[in-house]
Chains A and B, each alone.
Chain A
Amino acid sequence: MTGTVGVPTRITQGSGTKGGVGESTLRPDGTLKTTGEFAYASDLWHEDMLWGHTLRAPHAHALITRIDLTDALLQPGVYAVLAYADLPAAKRYGLELRDQPVLCDGRVRFHGEPVALVAADHPETARRAAAKIVVEYDVLPPVTDEAAATAPGAPLLHPDRDDDHAPHVPHPNIVRRQPVRRGDIEAGRARAAVIVRQDYEVGMQDQAFLGPESGLAVPADDGGVDLYVSTQWLHVDREQIAPVLGLPEDKVRLALSGVGGAFGGREDLSMQAHAALLALHTGKPVKMVYNRYESFFGHVHRHPARITYEHGATREGKLTHVAARIVLDGGAYASSTPAVVGNAASLGLGPYTCENVDIEAIGLYTNNPPCGAMRGFGAVQACFAYESQMDRVAAELHLDPVEFRQLNAMEQGSLMPTGQPVDSPAPVAELLRRVRSMPMPPERQWESAGEGADLRALPGGLSNTTHGEGVVRGVGYAVGIKNVGFSEGFDDYSTARVRLEVVGGEPVATVHTAMAEVGQGGVTVHAQIARTELGVAQVTIQPADTAVGSAGSTSASRQTYVTGGAVRHACQAVRAEVLEIGRRKFGSYHPAWATAELLLEGGKIVTDGGEALADLADVLEGDPVERELEWRHRPTQALDHERGQGNGHVQYSFAAHRAVVEVDTDLGLVKVVELACAQDVGKALNPLSVVGQIQGGTTQGLGLAVMEEIVLDPEAKVRNPSFTDYLIPTILDTPPLPVDVLELADSHAPYGLRGVGEASTLSSTPAVVAAVRQATGLALTRVPVRPEHLTGT
């Protein structure tokens, strides 16, 4: 080993601290969750509490002609029964548009819409009382697709719209329409050697989080209410709940309870306002817990989509033009449909460059279940279609599909079709190169077991459907682009309160934010940031609540970027204050106080040469230093209504997949053998968590490819609201998921990081389907792919 001896190494803030940024520290909640001891929102309990229950509509579209609560109220043990007429203040809420009645307003717009609430001293009593509520319906034909929604004389789902999108839509049953246009499509067509046009369809996926909606509302002495809920954004919940209760926001206090997964499905309110209404009405704590069946009606789903793409390319394989129409079904209420439309339109070209682009995305109002946020948020639907197209064009040109993608891949400096320059690394071609160069899983692995076939390696698994008969391997590739953070001019800030003090001689940092920990590992990362920035070993993460400013949503891959950024910002302010106090007290004792860069390390103020100047205990003398600060990423711009131009997004993230599948071509059963991913994360603040996020997103994408779909009947009723028939991948469906993590820093982001939570959800689905196409030779334009599609039955 060689090196220079004797010269002190220059150190930087946090470099001497264990458990800081860049280390795979373990989750504080990991062991509890694994052993079953973690307290989820469904475990909440309060002395003397009541149980709330929701009566839901059995039709997708109907008028309520009569509602009679009498028999329910007469049931012993019942404390309250509430319907629309009993709402004390605001009647509606909603994430982006306030279009959803707190309880059905006389017109049922989707199957499972809440009609009435019951509070009783036992959940079974509440359930039985709800069954005694008399509701008479005049059933109407449901509006279920674009043609029906925009037909002449179509019933208007929301006849009195006055939202910001209303003036810009071609029909009132269209929530938002967003075109993105650049260049000249006709000129592109004229140059094209091949043109490929195809329709695609994406089924309705569900977040399928394991912890059902639940929470506890406790009336307070000041006339307010304390809510313990499992959500993705405490402050936006409060913004919607307070007007419904007729209370000022400071009388509505929210605290985060244990969240069992979210994936976008907890962005909208579920039971929060209902429990608070019952609690204030009865003066007693009220708990509500949905069961699995109700949960499928209690949250929004991923927008199903019908998509048409036209791609053109030169003989050499350069894209000449891309035209697309993306129709997203938002269901009965808007939820986050406007933002999903914006994403689908602005990201609809994919991670490619093309001069001539004409994309139109619309979001519909229908009588289908409301759809909103889910991991990938508008980018997932588009990615399935444009990546399927890229394979078709490559095939037409007899080009290798990976090389064709690389030939058109965007890179740093490329322009988005919105005109926004991509001003940080965009290693699209490199990610494809990396997944392709990973070693291939061995062929016919089921034969390696020796005697007999190893069923676990075969399609059908232990169900023993094949011992190798009919099995064909396929390999497919895909790559995608996802935005990070809230877009289109949204003021997307976060708040952090950080305190540094010396307790029992040990420096301790305390971090308080309102960030919803939904499993993403934010609490782990916040402690790492505090250790790095303040040079301490001990960090206390305060429970998230509304006693501190908003952290924004745990969604859009944004929390490590934005709340992580806020924690870092507050830590830096605390550090500066501590150094200033040190200079004031001890500055005259050592020249380095004035000349050197000073750091906090191990409870001391040290120079960047490692020389200790003072103990924190002596600097602080028992007084904590605390700062609460807001932090913002770079502002974004709205997209214009006509051409969708504008710097709409904060940051982009990229992932590529290679899927290897074995398909039982006789039975149409698919075994994903391996699903490899390469993703650029800018900087892995916690490498273990990063890999977990990428693998989780990949698996959710696999689910959409081959099994996950909420199925509706012709009356727009949900046919499979259970985990018996809404299938998600088990561990036996989840193949090895090798992950190659790139760290190309984004200089605009804290530590150079890039939001990591969603990108892998995008490309996973089209990669799996591409592999199944290669194995079967079928076109497969719809996901999820079902055995019927593969067997022509």
Chain B
Amino acid sequence: MDFLRPASWEEALAAKAAHPAAVPIAGGTDVMVEINFDLRRPDHLLDLGRVAELREWEVGERTVRLGASVPYTQIMAELRHDLPGLALASHTVASPQIRNRGSVGGNLGTASPAGDAHPALLAAGCEVEVESRARGSRRVPIDAFFTGVKRNALAPDELIRAVHIDRADGPQQFSKVGTRNAMVIAVCAFSLALHPESRTVRTGIGSAAPTPIRARAAEEFLNAALEEGGFWDTGEAVPPSIGARFAGLASGACNPIDDVRGSAAYRRHAIGVLARRTLTWCWESYRESERRAPCA
């Protein structure tokens, strides 16, 4: 196994072009596990550790440009207000040591249905900036990024450079079920983001389908219900019937499997519970913010 150590982004792209099968490694929290368990023996590892720009982020007017290697610890500490859903999700990743190394770029590269960042990214809305030496840079909307079980929209010669995530314009929540209270791979996960500016909601579901998905029917139902009831304006409590229907549709969006971590039936059930609860929490936060900042 050869270990490629590019010193810059340009060198990294050149290395990936020369060795399209090379596996990029940043924090190594996925790649090293696979190598240690002998699940993967790539001919080349492409170490991104010397590409300093990947560990930088920038808060813009509407989006945060998050370098692919920014560790979860930093997201939790620095981006809680701009990316609250992703910060909550980051907090559920493994242990402090792993959060110091693991990054959203790695999560997207692995594209596991259980990746903790994915539901939050889907709910917040984002674009993944990928680049190849041959064709330059392009942006893949998150909704088109996950193409199959542990597969994503990257071409073999492309690397993930950054993620452009919409700054939160309303409350966001992330909940993850595991069978212990920390350091656990998600049995299932749910994220909800309210977008008061567009008067829409977005969702993200993890570990309950072959890829991370949005519960689109649930979103459409809730968008319509909130609009028709005038809830965005009145800030009134959303009646339990709406929450229950939203939960049922979120459950229905799942296409889970039975595995050693949990049954398909449990995952469907739990996603419903999480959908109902996160809606309650988000809407309560929205009402509070409305009360604090009444219309001028």
Contact = CB atoms under 8 A, between A and B. Distances in A.
The answer to whether A and B come from one shared complex is: yes
Given A127-B38, A788-B262, A788-B263, A733 B269 contact: no
A727 B179 contact: yes
Given A293-B37, A724-B185, A793-B265, A460 B88 contact: no
Interface string B62-76: 000000000000000
B13 to A, nearest CB: 30
B181 interface: yes
Interface string A676-691: 0000000000000000
Contacts of B177: 460, 463, 465, 667, 669, 787
Interface string A467-478: 101100000000
Contacts of B185: 724-725
B266 A671 contact: no
Nearest to B33: A724
Interface centre among B37, B174, B280 (most CB of A within 10 A): B37
A132 B110 CA distance: 30
A730 B180 contact: yes
B180 A729 contact: yes
A722 interface: yes
Nearest to B264: A793
A733 B180 contact: yes
Contacts of A16: none
Interface string B37-50: 11000000000000
Interface centre among A464, A467, A724, A732 (most CB of B within 10 A): A464
Contact of A464 (B88, B184, B261): B88
A727 B181 CA distance: 11
A730 B182 contact: yes
Contacts of A729: 180
A211 to B, nearest CB: 16
A793 B92 contact: no
Contacts of B265: 788, 793
Contacts of B173: 464
A719 interface: yes
B195 interface: no
A724 B178 CA distance: 11
A720 to B, nearest CB: 5
Contacts of A724: 33, 185
B182 A733 contact: yes
Nearest to A785: B179
Contact of B181 (A467, A711, A733, A787): A733
Nearest to B272: A666
B213 interface: no
B277 interface: yes
B281 A787 contact: no
Interface in A464-497: 464-467, 469-470
B226 to A, nearest CB: 21
B274 interface: yes
A461 interface: yes
A75 to B, nearest CB: 16
B266 A788 contact: yes
B184 A793 contact: no
A127 B173 CA distance: 46
A292 B37 CA distance: 8
Contacts of A466: 277
B175 interface: yes
A666 B273 contact: yes
Contacts of B180: 706-707, 727, 729-730, 732-733
Interface in A415-469: 456, 459-467, 469
Contacts, number: 104
Contacts of B178: 460, 463
A788 B264 CA distance: 10
Nearest to A291: B36
Nearest to B37: A293
A465 B181 CA distance: 10
A464 B176 contact: yes
A464 B266 CA distance: 18
Interface residues of A, number: 40
A786 interface: yes
A464 B175 contact: yes
Nearest to B269: A793
A208 to B, nearest CB: 13
Nearest to B95: A730
B175 A467 contact: no
Interface centre among B175, B179, B183 (most CB of A within 10 A): B179
A463 B176 contact: yes
B28 to A, nearest CB: 15
Interface string A710-740: 0100000001101011010111110000000
B47 to A, nearest CB: 19
Contacts of B139: none
Contacts of B184: 463, 727
B107 to A, nearest CB: 16
Interface in B245-265: 260-263, 265
B216 interface: no
A732 to B, nearest CB: 4
Given A787-B266, A793-B263, A793-B266, A732 B277 contact: no
A791 interface: yes
Given A463-B177, A465-B177, A791 B266 contact: yes
A301 to B, nearest CB: 16
A667 B92 CA distance: 17
A463 B181 contact: yes
A127 B37 CA distance: 12
B101 interface: no
A249 B73 CA distance: 55
B80 to A, nearest CB: 13
Nearest to A723: B183
Interface string A344-378: 00000000000000000000000000000000000
Contacts of A671: 181
Contacts of B187: 787
Contacts of A459: 181
Contacts of B182: 461-463, 730-733
Contacts of A788: 262-263, 265-266
Interface centre among B181, B265, B280 (most CB of A within 10 A): B181
Given A293-B37, A667-B273, A669-B177, A467 B281 contact: yes
B95 to A, nearest CB: 8
A732 B92 CA distance: 12
A310 to B, nearest CB: 32
Contacts of B179: 669, 706-707, 727, 786-787
B291 to A, nearest CB: 16
A621 B265 CA distance: 80
B150 interface: no
B273 A787 contact: no
Contacts of B36: 291-292
B270 interface: yes
B5 interface: no
A729 B184 CA distance: 10
A462 B177 CA distance: 10
Interface centre among A127, A720, A793 (most CB of B within 10 A): A793
A787 B260 contact: no
A719 B92 contact: no
B91 interface: yes
Contacts of A127: 38
A465 B262 contact: no
A465 B277 contact: yes
Contacts of B92: 462-464
9 contacts: A460-B175, A464-B91, A465-B177, A465-B277, A669-B179, A730-B180, A731-B182, A732-B183, A791-B266
In the A-B complex, list the 8 residue pairs whose CB atoms are closest, starting with the nearest. Answer: A461-B181, A793-B266, A732-B182, A793-B265, A463-B176, A732-B181, A719-B260, A793-B269
Given A732-B181, A787-B262, 16 more contacts: A293-B38, A461-B181, A462-B91, A464-B88, A464-B92, A464-B173, A465-B176, A467-B277, A469-B277, A666-B273, A730-B183, A732-B180, A733-B180, A787-B177, A787-B187, A788-B263
